[in-house]
Structure 1
Amino acid sequence: MQLIGVYFVSSMKNSLTDNFTKDLKARAEMLSILTADKFGSETGTADEESAVESLRGMVNNLYINGAEIQVLDASGKIITTSIPSQNDYVGQRNTQTVVSRALQGISDNEEYIIADDNVRKKVVAKPVISGDKVVGAIYIAADMKDLYATMSRINSVFLSGLLLALALTAVLGVILAHTITHPIKEMTKHATAVAEGRFNRKVPVFGNDEIGQLSQAFNYMTDRLREALLQNEEEKEKLSSILANMSDGVVATDESGAVILMNTRAALMLGAEGPLPEGAPLGGLLGLDPEQTVSVTQGIAQSAMLHLSPLDGEDPNIVRVTFTPIHRREGGRVAGTIAVLQDVTEQENLEESRREFVANVSHELRTPLTTIKSYAEALDDGVLEDPQLAVRFVGVIRNETERMIRLVTDLLHLSRLDSKESSLRIQQTDISDMLEDVADRFSFQIRQKRIHISTRVRKDVATAWLDRDQIDQVLGNLVSNALKYTPEGGTIQLEAHKSEDGMLAVSVRDSGIGIPKKDIERIFERFYRVDKARSRNMGGTGLGLSIAREIVKAHGGSISLQSELNEGSLVTFTLPLMKQRGSEA
């Protein structure tokens, strides 16, 4: 409106000014023609007073509001004027430029002047031509006050319209801005709430315009973001649960080798106390040397075997560590390492036991086989011709064969116990009779070594549910060992009583040579002997205590040994007194 107003006011001003000027020129032209005729009719005939009065009448009749009209002669003197107050100027010359130009015969003469009262006036001068001669001039100075008053009113109208338009524009702008900014403010609040984790808020949709479509898209994005975060939390919980319940330890590091994640199992395996040592270097945590640490950081190392000491000071655990580098998608750089710790102590011990078992079986079988082969070769070389020597050699071969048969029988028995193929025939058994039968079975060897054997059964354990044959074998192995390692004149005591936990406790105590403390923990291992040469010469296979332990475990009991060197040993095993569910009768 300002631009239009300026253009309109300027055009209006120019138009009014042009019209005003054209009107003045037209009036001046008409007056010049009348004056020329008047000058033509009066010339040389009328007197000068009459001509002036005639011209004055014409000027007064041609009234222009706020304008001064002068009739000038050829010399520029004022003949008459339309303003009575200006009569004093009659007879004086008008020296203005427009007048001079008009007297020179130039018809287009106009200019602006500012009067003494600061009123702008438009001045027009026209020559009065009679025939081909300029006989005078018409001078009109019109006041432009009314024109500028009109322009002032027009400006006031436009200014009022502009102010009204500005007010309406402000109101409409506020309303329009509110319709735009209100949804944006709502979306801003919603975005802040989403950033703070509140995904249950919805942006109100105020229409189907672009802002409405943006609100719908924002709500859809919030729903998808909530679903993605919920899924991410679920996956995180699953991962945390998996890591917490894994039997293997997991340690994650960043690209510099600093620990950023460790599960509880890894902390226990590494002996970490208190909070998890996150941020610690992996090499120092695992005890790697500098070369291994660099290999792990560069993603070269694949695995390592570590011997870690637990917090309780027991034997070191054997841990296999597998390193898996994490590569970045861009550039292929190593962004970190995942170390998986597997406790292979039991596997290594089992493997060591297997190797030791195979070596022991091979050794136990090789010794009698070598003896049998040697004596058979001797018989084949001519010993058969000597009856006495041949009989002795055949006896040695028979003893070694029986020894191998006992060894194989014990191994088969252990195999059946390990594979649960040997079922128990549980029956109610008199404990006193069972102990007496065992003592009677070894009566010949007892008398030979002049060993005193006694049995004692307390009243609270008169009977028990067990496999009589299997327990007889256990007692036979224990009494046989006691006889072997108890010197002549010693004692062996068989006792049965009720233990504190309500089970049958059967013990075999001897006054033999005893067992060193360092061997007690391994005494129940297969083929383990305290004095290997002496045990083998006594005919033992090293499997008796192992078989006894497996039989007792099959019954749901336990077996233990206490011994002091040169003071004797005490072997105690416990069995359930009552019949167990699922046991064979």
Structure 2
Amino acid sequence: MKPASFFRTVQAKLIIVYMLLILIAMQLIGVYFVSAMKNSLTSNFTNDLQEQAELLSVMAADKLGDDIEEGKNSVESLGVIVNNLFNLSGVEIQVLDASGKVLITSLSSHADYVGRKNTQTVVSRALQGISDNEEYVIDEDNERKRVVAKPIINNSKIVGAIYIVASMTELHDTIGRVNNIFISGMLLALGLTAILGVILAHTITQPIKEMTRHATAVAEGNFEQRMPVFGNDEIGQLSEAFNYMTSRLSDALLQNEEEKEKLASILTNMSDGVIATDEAGHVILMNRRASAMLSLDEDESDQKDIVQLLGLDSEQAHAVADGSMNSALLEMSIPGVDTAYKVRVTFTSIHRREFGIAGTIVVLQDVTEQEKLEASRREFVANVSHELRTPLTTIKSYTEALDDGAIEDTQLAQRFVGVIQNETERMIRLVTDLLHLSRLDNKESSLRKEPTDVLEMLEDVTDRFSFQMQQKHIKSNIIVQEGIESVLFDRDQIDQVLDNLVSNSLKYTPDGGLVTLEARLTDDYQLAISVQDTGIGIPKKDIDHIFDRFYRVDKARSRNMGGTGLGLSIAREIVNAHGGIMTLQSELEQGTKVSFILPIVEDGGVMV
């Protein structure tokens, strides 16, 4: 095997990656270990010098603080201490007076320094009373040294300084030996890693080569090949998976015809109609749904022309033939049934490189309900336009009258302005209700549920309408079943529902009537709240449409009272958002009862 080819193999890649991982790991560990060791040794070395300087400064404080007569004897005794107790290899200790002159040095070779002034920066800082003074210097012989200086303080007075210079050669020699040991260990580990990598790579790649040979045999149609399984590791599992794949592939070829039958069954039972035609437009396949939509028997569809089946005109037929027809909306009817339904037909051409269009796939979808929904939306837009046009027309008429001179008549002008204000407020209410309804439809109005006292809520509702009730001499009655105290729901939203229901009751209840608010628990442990009045009631023909948007039983009276026709729709949407339902019962001239049922959440349901 050529060297270049060897390095492209999985075996070589595994060995290289394995060695690189070990090398990187050891490098990271080595850098961290050597750095930590160096910092630790240097820190210990510096701390030892600091402790010696601190101890010597304490001992020298008494000696240098003596009287002048005793000064000479004190210096001599201090020199004995320095030379005997602090005489360390590679370390020079100097005792300086308050002016920085050298009084004592531990090195006999530097005896000529006595009497001279030490001008080092650390000495100057120590004589100024700064205790933490150390430097790292390299002398003229390229020897690395650590310098430490400590002030000598006697009776809060600086009487001198201790100056220590220590060689770091031995420390760095120790660090170098550790580095050499680590490098030797790393090289030995890499050698062992290379050997282990070769063994590991061979263990992995040999089964892969064997599997490649078996896969080639399977590709040539020999499904009797089986991979030997030597263990329960990943390679063994891969061998078992290969054998299982071979068995499944053999079964798949045998099940090909069965799958075709399944595909035919799926086409037959699809909810959309599917028709396949040849290049001439003749039907070669039609599923059951398409036959039903076209009112044909499955046997009648063979070799029929798609243009005739769908009733396409000449222009559409030409578009289908040249592949430019994408979709069409057709109206179809069932024989014997007056109701027509709409079908959206989608055409997809099948192309062959040599032959052009080889056929067409036609999909038929019943879009009758979608079209009804679109019609409903268009009706909604028309209703909104109508509701806005009426007040806008009124405002325009009255503003033109004011502009034509009615503004000069104070009483007439005030009445016109009042009408304009009323119509403006009516439009504001309409737009506000539309925005609220839109947020509910789009699920943008989040529920802020909180425990709410039901009795207190119903009492607050009657308090808000107490003035209107007094004007019409209408009495209110509140009934709350025993055991209902607090329920979890959005108080503001439910208040809006109750306000709307009570407001409608007051509008359509004659003077001296009664409005009853009731809260009770249903048999399936849900909260039912109802508002019942003794008003004029609703005709039966209107009850099914009472929750439709913009629907009014008495349109003229509703508009005069400022209603938008959206209140009950909004109320029902709010109840639906809570997971509840709203119902209405009414008898003409007997009154109306509107109820809504809210589910009770276990964590925050009825709290007794």
TM-score, with structure 1 as normaliser: 0.50
| Aligned counterpart in structure 1 of residue 343 of structure 2, from 304, 319, 331 | 319
Structure 1 Cα separation of the partners of residues 575 and 299 of structure 2? 50
| Aligned counterpart in structure 2 of residue 486 of structure 1, from 482, 506, 509 | 509
| Aligned counterpart in structure 2 of residue 249 of structure 1, from 267, 273, 281 | 273
The 3-state SS of whatever aligns with 2:473 is coil
Matching of residue 425 in structure 1 with residue 448 in structure 2: yes
| Aligned counterpart in structure 2 of residue 399 of structure 1, from 407, 412, 422 | 422
Shift in Å, 1:482 = 2.0
Shift in Å, 1:523 = 2.4
- For 2:522, the equivalent position in structure 1 comes to 499
- For 1:472, the equivalent position in structure 2 comes to 495
Shift in Å, 1:506 = 1.3
| Aligned counterpart in structure 2 of residue 305 of structure 1, from 327, 330, 352 | 330
* Aligned partner letter, 2:428: I
Structure 2 Cα separation of the partners of residues 549 and 344 of structure 1? 28
Q: Are 1:455 and 1:494, in contact at CA under 8 Å, matched by a contact in 2?
A: yes
* Aligned partner letter, 2:343: V
Shift in Å, 1:391 = 1.3
* Aligned partner letter, 2:262: E
- For 1:278, the equivalent position in structure 2 comes to 298
Q: Are 2:267 and 2:274, in contact at CA under 8 Å, matched by a contact in 1?
A: no
The 3-state SS of whatever aligns with 1:400 is helix
Matching of residue 550 in structure 1 with residue 570 in structure 2: no
Q: Are 2:583 and 2:594, in contact at CA under 8 Å, matched by a contact in 1?
A: yes
* Aligned partner letter, 1:427: E
Structure 1 Cα separation of the partners of residues 430 and 335 of structure 2? 39
Structure 1 Cα separation of the partners of residues 514 and 334 of structure 2? 44
- Does the C-alpha gap of structure 1 residues 324 and 517 become closer, same or farther in structure 2, counting only changes over 3 Å? farther
- Where do 5+ consecutive residues of structure 1 fail to align? 1-198, 203-222
* Aligned partner letter, 2:599: P
- For 1:237, the equivalent position in structure 2 comes to 262
- Does the C-alpha gap of structure 1 residues 507 and 282 become closer, same or farther in structure 2, counting only changes over 3 Å? farther
Shift in Å, 1:271 = 11
- Does the C-alpha gap of structure 1 residues 234 and 289 become closer, same or farther in structure 2, counting only changes over 3 Å? closer
- Does the C-alpha gap of structure 1 residues 243 and 531 become closer, same or farther in structure 2, counting only changes over 3 Å? farther
More off after superposition, 419-428 vs 571-580: 571-580
Structure 1 Cα separation of the partners of residues 330 and 455 of structure 2? 54
Structure 1 Cα separation of the partners of residues 387 and 420 of structure 2? 15
Deviations 1:312-356 (A, max 9, x none): x99875433446688999999998x75523232342233222212
User: Which structure has the greater CA radius of gyration?
Assistant: 1
Shift in Å, 1:510 = 2.7
Q: Are 1:555 and 1:575, in contact at CA under 8 Å, matched by a contact in 2?
A: yes
Matching of residue 509 in structure 1 with residue 532 in structure 2: yes
Structure 2 Cα separation of the partners of residues 396 and 422 of structure 1? 33
- Does the C-alpha gap of structure 1 residues 463 and 343 become closer, same or farther in structure 2, counting only changes over 3 Å? farther
Structure 2 Cα separation of the partners of residues 279 and 506 of structure 1? 59
Shift in Å, 1:577 = 1.8
Q: Are 1:256 and 1:297, in contact at CA under 8 Å, matched by a contact in 2?
A: no
Structure 2 Cα separation of the partners of residues 488 and 371 of structure 1? 31
Structure 2 Cα separation of the partners of residues 554 and 358 of structure 1? 24
- Does the C-alpha gap of structure 1 residues 201 and 373 become closer, same or farther in structure 2, counting only changes over 3 Å? closer
- For 2:371, the equivalent position in structure 1 comes to 348
Q: Are 1:478 and 1:508, in contact at CA under 8 Å, matched by a contact in 2?
A: yes
State how 1:432-471 maps to structure 2 within 5 Å. 432-471=455-494
* Aligned partner letter, 2:273: G
Q: Are 1:465 and 1:576, in contact at CA under 8 Å, matched by a contact in 2?
A: no
Q: Are 1:436 and 1:455, in contact at CA under 8 Å, matched by a contact in 2?
A: yes
- Does the C-alpha gap of structure 1 residues 396 and 564 become closer, same or farther in structure 2, counting only changes over 3 Å? same
Deviations 1:396-442 (A, max 9, x none): 11111111111121122122222322221111111122122212222
Structure 2 Cα separation of the partners of residues 310 and 496 of structure 1? 53
* Aligned partner letter, 2:431: V
The 3-state SS of whatever aligns with 2:546 is coil
Q: Are 1:251 and 1:262, in contact at CA under 8 Å, matched by a contact in 2?
A: yes
* Aligned partner letter, 2:450: Q
The 3-state SS of whatever aligns with 2:429 is helix
Structure 2 Cα separation of the partners of residues 440 and 432 of structure 1? 12
Matching of residue 262 in structure 1 with residue 287 in structure 2: yes
The 3-state SS of whatever aligns with 1:424 is coil
Q: Are 1:558 and 1:574, in contact at CA under 8 Å, matched by a contact in 2?
A: yes
Shift in Å, 1:493 = 2.3
- For 1:410, the equivalent position in structure 2 comes to 433
- Does the C-alpha gap of structure 1 residues 327 and 472 become closer, same or farther in structure 2, counting only changes over 3 Å? same
The 3-state SS of whatever aligns with 1:454 is strand
The 3-state SS of whatever aligns with 2:298 is coil
Shift in Å, 1:472 = 0.6
Shift in Å, 1:263 = 4.8
Structure 2 Cα separation of the partners of residues 328 and 498 of structure 1? 69
Q: How many residues align?
A: 354
The 3-state SS of whatever aligns with 1:477 is helix
* Aligned partner letter, 1:279: D
Deviations 1:110-164 (A, max 9, x none): xxxxxxxxxxxxxxxxxxxxxxxxxxxxxxxxxxxxxxxxxxxxxxxxxxxxxxx
- Does the C-alpha gap of structure 1 residues 396 and 326 become closer, same or farther in structure 2, counting only changes over 3 Å? same
Structure 1 Cα separation of the partners of residues 471 and 390 of structure 2? 29
Deviations 1:256-311 (A, max 9, x none): 988964356x68x8599xxx952255999x9x999559999996796443366899
The 3-state SS of whatever aligns with 1:506 is strand
Structure 1 Cα separation of the partners of residues 543 and 588 of structure 2? 11
The 3-state SS of whatever aligns with 2:299 is coil
Structure 2 Cα separation of the partners of residues 482 and 348 of structure 1? 37
- For 2:557, the equivalent position in structure 1 comes to 534
- For 2:391, the equivalent position in structure 1 comes to 368
Deviations 1:8-60 (A, max 9, x none): xxxxxxxxxxxxxxxxxxxxxxxxxxxxxxxxxxxxxxxxxxxxxxxxxxxxx
Q: Are 2:453 and 2:487, in contact at CA under 8 Å, matched by a contact in 1?
A: yes
Structure 1 Cα separation of the partners of residues 253 and 509 of structure 2? 77
- For 2:97, the equivalent position in structure 1 comes to none
Shift in Å, 1:468 = 0.9
The 3-state SS of whatever aligns with 2:492 is helix
Deviations 1:478-500 (A, max 9, x none): 12122222333433322222223
Structure 1 Cα separation of the partners of residues 548 and 303 of structure 2? 38
State how 1:198-213 maps to structure 2 within 5 Å. none
More off after superposition, 252-261 vs 566-575: 252-261
The 3-state SS of whatever aligns with 1:423 is coil
Q: Are 1:494 and 1:509, in contact at CA under 8 Å, matched by a contact in 2?
A: yes
The 3-state SS of whatever aligns with 2:402 is helix
- Does the C-alpha gap of structure 1 residues 550 and 338 become closer, same or farther in structure 2, counting only changes over 3 Å? same
- Where do 5+ consecutive residues of structure 2 fail to align? 1-220, 225-247
* Aligned partner letter, 1:571: V
